[in-house]
Structure 1
Amino acid sequence: MIKSKDGITLIIGIGVDLIEVERVEKACKNEHFLERCFTKREIDLIREDIRKASDNFAVKEAVSKVFGTGLCGFSLTDIEVLRDKLGSPYVTLYGNALKFANERGITKIHVSITNTNIYSNAFVVAEGKET
């Protein structure tokens, strides 16, 4: 945790994840996997570009590391990863993921995704206020 001079927390946590693209794309052939891991809007995005599945899954893992919980205590669909008009990823939290964020004082999540043909990598920074 990094604090400013006035005691307000600037960075609550960071998370990073690296995942094999092929593994996630193979799992996405199973409709149950898609519905368990991704929101309806994410599934629509993935159906347009299958590569988004591994990118989004990596973001979800990285967010869970920010929480310090791993992938437990909330549903994967409580973390939604979409893209803005320019293609930049952003995260929206729901349910228990939103509860975890609020309990930790997280007010903003920044996300960056990079990938190769083999791997998707996500880096997440959570900022907020000291609780």
Structure 2
Amino acid sequence: MAYGAGPCPLREIGPGQWLIVGVGAGSLAEAQAALAPGFALSDQTHGRVRLSLAGPRAADLLAKGTAVNLALLPEGAAAQTLFGHIGITLARTGPEAFELAVLRGFALSLWDELILLGREYGIEARIA
């Protein structure tokens, strides 16, 4: 399995820290073996929820809740930030597409906030 591309992109979240996101076919032990010995992995799937936000007004909606300058966030890049009072990992996944990773306990609050702030843009909520 290749990490950093395809179904398992890397999200740099700080100096020397990355999240491997996506659907992987292997186990954590297999992933650890595939990476250099200097890497340590920790499974975060039980504690985080990923939300997608896409469309021509996605950046406008996100700008209401975060101080990240989205015009300067290139595709594939990520930032640890706040959305309102909620800590998130915000990644640009396409020209008009973003991914928000949030601690599971805050996911519903973030969802509700996105729906509330997105009403003026005609936001649609779907569970994929």
Q: TM-score, normalised by structure 1?
A: 0.30
Higher RCO (CA-CA < 8 Å; seq separation 6+):
1
Q: TM-score, normalised by structure 2?
A: 0.31
More helix as a share of residues: 1
